[in-house]
C-alpha cells in the first residue's frame, strides 16, 4: 500500500519507520541467542540425570552447575538488553510521532471530528509505546525460534518431536482464531469508546449549564447508555481473549504431561533415557511459551497494531507534496473569489459564490441574521475551514500558497467563542512566541486597551490564566484575546462579534483598535450584531441565506433606526437595520 503513495508521502512514511529495520534485525538475532541459551535447562537436566547421578561424581555436578549458572546469567543479560532496546525504541518512536499526532489532533476538529476523536491520536502513541515496553514483543520475537526446540526434541526422539509439533500447531491455530474473532469487536469497542468519551467531554464543557438547569442526571443517563454499549463490546472481546488464553494454558499443561507420559513409555521400552524425559518436558514448555504469551498479550497486540496503522495514516495526512515558497509579507489586498464553503464532516453548503475585495486601510463590517453564514465566512477567511470551491487571496496569492507559520503572522483572529490557553497573559498575547518581544506584547495590549488592567492584576503579564482563561471575566478574556489578535501588527485582523461581552470602555477600546489597524495600512473585518462595533468601519456586507446580499460603503448600506439615535435602556438590545444600496 505504501508503494501506491506519492514519493513525498513515502518519504514521510519512511521517516516514521527510520531505524526500525535495523533495530528489528538486532532484536531478532538477540532473541536467537536467548532461545539457544534457553536450552541450558534441558541440557543441564539431561546431563545431571544421565551423567552426574549415574557416575556419582560431585566434581561433575559442580562443573555442570557452574556452567549452567554462567549460561543463565548470559541469557538474563541478553534478555535485559532486549527489553531495554524495546523500551528505548518506544520512547524514540514517541518523541518522533507525538508532535505529529498532536498536530493532527489540533487540525481534526476543523474537519468535523470530535475532540475525543482528535485526542485518540495521542492515546495511539501511548498504546504503541506501552506495548513495546511490555512482554508482547518478546513473544513475537521468540516465535520464529520455536523450531530450535522442536528440532532438539525431535533429535531426542521423533515421536516426542511430532507430539510437540502437533501441540504447537493447535496453539497457533487458537491464536489465529482469536485474532479473527476479536478484530471486528476491537474496532467496534474503540468506536464505542470514542462515542462515550465524546459525551463525557460534552458534559464536562457544559457543567455549569447542567448544574444550573438541573438536567445533570439526564446527561449522566445519556453517558451511561454509551458506556453500557462500550462495556458490552469490551466484555465480549475480553471473554473471547480470556477463554482462548485459558484453553491455551490448559492445552499447554496437557501437552507437558503428555510429553512426560510418552517419554516415560519410551523409557520403559528402553528407547529414551530418564534424563531425556526431563529435558523434553522443559524444552517443550519453552517451545510453547511464546505461543502462550502471544495469546495472553493478543489484545494489547491488536490495539498496538491498530494504533500504529492510524499513526501511519496520520503521517501520510501531514505529508505535503511540496513546501510552499516563502512569500513577502502582504501589504495590498485581501480578495475572496467565488468562494463556496461547506461544513466539514456533514458537507452541507453554507455559503455559495462569495466574492469581494478589500484594500489596505479598509475595514469591513459583516452583518446579517443568525445562521446566515457570517461565522462560516470568518472561518474561511482565516483558513480554519477549507473552501469547497474558490479562493481567498492575500496580495494575489491563495492561502494554500502561504506557509502556515508565515500566514499566522499576517492574520489576527478573535473568534466568537473566546478561549485562552492555560498559560500566562504574556504567553497568550505573544501566541507562545519562543522569543517574545515585550515591546510587541505591550503594544498589542495597549491597542486592545488592556495594558492598565493587566498591570493591576497580581503577577501582571506573568499571571497564569488557568484552563480556558478561567481567571478572567468574559469581557477581560475577550479583550486579552483581542490583544492576541493584534500582536505583531498582522495585515488582516478578523473579529467575530468582538464586543459581545464588552462594556462601554471595552467598546471604545475596540473602536480605537480598528482605527489603529486601518491607520497602519492593515485590513479589519468585523462580524457584528451591535452597531457600536461598526463605528470605525467604512464598508459593510450583508450575509443572508448563504450569499452576500449587499456590499458597499457603510453610509450606502446602513440606515439608523430609532434605537441608534435614542439611548438604549439596560433591558433593550440595539439592532442594526441594513438596506441594499440603490
Instruction: Give, in degrees to the nearest 5, the angle at Cα 172 between 169 and 177.
Output: 125
Residue 237 or residue 211, greater confidence = 237
| CA-closest candidate to residue 283, choices 171, 166, 164, 173 | 164
pLDDT of the residue at 566: 34
Of 316 and 41, which is predicted with more confidence? 41
Position 12 scores a pLDDT of 54
Domains and CATH numbers, the chain: 23-318 (1.20.1560.10), 333-565 (3.40.50.300)
> Contacts from 510-517 at CB under 8 Å and sequence distance 24+?
510/449, 510/482, 511/535, 511/536, 512/447, 512/449, 512/536, 513/447, 513/448, 513/449, 513/482, 513/486, 514/363, 516/447, 516/486, 517/363, 517/486, 517/493
- Concatenating the DSSP letter of every residue in 5-74 gives S-HHHHHHHHHHTTTHHHHHHHHHHHHHHHHHHTTHHHHHHHHIIIIIHHHT-HHHHHHHHHHHHHHHHH
Regarding predicted confidence, which is higher, 558 or 535? 535
pTM above 0.85, yes or no: no
**Helix (H, G, I), strand (E, B), or coil: what is residue 395?**
coil
Provide the percentage of residues in the chain whose pLDDT is more than 90: 17
State how far the Cα of 533 lies from the Cα of 507, in Å rounded to an integer: 7
List the one residue out of 579, 518, 575, 524 whose CA is nearest residue 550.
579
Give residue 534's pLDDT band: very low, low, confident or very high (50, 70, 90): confident
Query: Could you identify the residue written with the cell 527489553?
Result: 83
pLDDT at 69 over 50: yes
Give the strand pairing for 389-394 and 333-342.
antiparallel
What's the pLDDT score for residue 112? 67
The Cα 304–Cα 23 span in angstroms is 18
Do 116 and 198 contact (CB within 8 A), yes or no?
Answer: yes
What does the pLDDT average to over 484-499? 91
- The phi-psi region of residue 440 (left if phi > 0; otherwise alpha if psi is between -120 and 50; otherwise beta) is alpha
Q: Which helix (H) or strand (E) holds 466?
A: none
- pLDDT tens track for 439-480: 999 999 999 889 999 999 888 999 888 776 777 888 888 889
Amino acid at each position: 500500500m505504501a508503494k501506491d503513495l506519492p514519493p513525498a508521502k513515502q518519504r514521510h512514511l519512511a521517516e516514521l519507520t527510520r531505524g526500525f529495520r535495523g533495530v528489528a534485525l538486532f532484536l531478532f538475532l538477540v532473541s536467537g541467542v536467548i532461545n539457544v541459551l534457553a536450552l541450558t535447562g534441558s541440557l543441564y537436566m539431561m546431563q545431571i540425570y544421565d551423567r552426574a547421578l549415574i557416575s556419582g561424581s560431585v566434581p561433575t555436578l559442580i562443573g555442570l552447575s557452574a556452567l549452567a549458572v554462567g549460561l543463565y546469567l548470559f541469557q538474563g543479560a541478553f534478555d535485559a538488553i532486549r527489553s531495554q532496546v524495546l523500551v528505548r525504541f518506544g520512547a524514540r518512536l514517541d518523541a518522533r510521532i507525538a508532535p505529529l499526532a498532536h498536530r493532527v489532533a489540533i487540525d481534526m476538529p476543523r474537519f468535523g471530528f470530535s475532540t475525543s476523536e482528535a485526542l485518540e491520536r495521542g492515546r495511539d502513541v501511548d498504546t504503541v509505546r506501552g506495548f513495546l515496553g511490555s512482554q508482547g514483543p518478546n513473544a513475537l520475537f521468540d516465535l520464529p525460534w520455536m523450531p530450535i526446540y522442536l528440532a532438539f526434541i525431535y533429535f531426542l526422539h521423533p515421536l516426542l518431536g511430532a507430539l510437540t509439533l502437533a501441540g504447537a500447531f493447535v496453539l497457533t491455530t487458537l491464536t489465529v482464531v482469536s485474532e479473527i474473532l476479536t478484530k471486528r469487536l476491537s474496532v467496534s469497542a474503540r468506536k464505542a469508546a470514542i462515542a462515550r468519551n465524546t459525551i463525557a467531554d460534552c458534559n464536562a464543557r457544559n457543567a455549569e449549564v447542567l448544574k444550573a438547569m438541573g438536567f445533570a442526571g439526564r446527561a449522566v443517563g445519556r453517558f451511561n447508555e454509551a458506556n453500557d454499549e462500550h462495556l458490552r463490546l469490551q466484555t465480549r472481546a475480553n471473554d473471547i481473549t480470556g477463554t482462548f488464553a485459558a484453553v491455551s494454558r490448559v492445552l499447554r499443561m496437557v501437552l507437558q504431561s503428555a510429553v512426560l507420559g510418552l517419554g516415560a513409555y519410551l523409557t520403559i521400552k528402553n528407547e529414551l533415557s530418564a534424563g531425556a524425559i526431563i529435558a523434553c518436558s522443559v524444552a517443550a514448555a519453552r517451545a510453547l511459551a511464546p505461543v502462550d504469551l502471544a495469546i495472553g498479550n493478543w489484545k494489547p497486540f491488536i490495539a498496538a497494531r491498530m494504533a500504529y496503522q492510524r499513526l501511519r495514516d496520520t503521517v501520510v495526512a501531514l505529508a505535503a507534496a511540496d513546501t510552499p515558497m516563502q512569500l513577502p509579507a502582504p501589504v495590498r489586498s485581501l480578495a475572496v473569489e467565488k468562494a463556496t464553503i461547506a461544513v466539514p464532516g456533514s458537507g452541507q453548503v453554507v455559503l455559495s459564490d462569495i466574492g469581494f475585495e478589500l484594500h489596505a486601510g479598509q475595514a469591513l463590517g459583516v452583518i446579517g441574521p443568525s445562521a446566515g453564514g457570517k461565522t462560516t465566512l470568518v472561518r474561511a477567511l482565516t483558513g480554519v475551514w477549507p473552501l469547497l470551491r474558490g479562493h481567498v487571496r492575500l496580495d494575489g496569492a491563495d492561502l494554500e500558497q502561504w506557509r502556515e507559520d508565515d500566514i499566522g503572522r499576517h492574520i489576527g483572529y478573535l473568534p466568537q467563542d473566546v478561549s485562552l490557553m492555560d498559560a500566562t497573559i504574556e504567553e497568550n498575547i505573544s501566541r507562545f512566541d519562543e522569543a517574545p518581544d515585550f515591546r510587541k506584547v505591550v503594544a498589542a495590549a495597549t491597542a486592545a486597551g488592556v495594558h492598565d488592567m493587566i498591570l493591576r492584576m497580581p503577577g501582571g503579564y506573568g499571571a497564569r490564566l488557568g484552563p480556558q482563561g478561567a481567571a478572567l471575566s468574559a469581557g477581560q478574556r475577550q479583550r486579552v484575546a483581542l490583544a492576541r489578535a493584534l500582536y505583531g501588527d498582522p495585515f488582516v485582523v478578523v473579529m467575530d462579534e468582538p464586543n459581545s461581552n464588552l462594556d462601554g470602555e471595552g467598546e471604545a477600546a475596540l473602536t480605537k483598535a480598528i482605527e489603529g489597524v486601518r491607520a497602519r495600512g492593515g485590513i479589519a473585518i468585523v462580524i457584528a450584531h451591535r452597531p457600536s462595533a461598526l463605528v470605525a468601519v467604512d464598508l459593510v456586507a450583508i450575509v443572508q441565506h448563504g450569499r452576500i446580499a449587499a456590499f458597499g460603503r457603510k453610509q450606502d448600506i446602513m440606515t439608523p433606526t430609532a434605537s441608534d439615535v435614542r439611548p438604549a435602556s439596560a433591558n433593550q438590545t440595539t439592532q442594526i437595520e441594513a438596506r441594499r444600496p440603490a
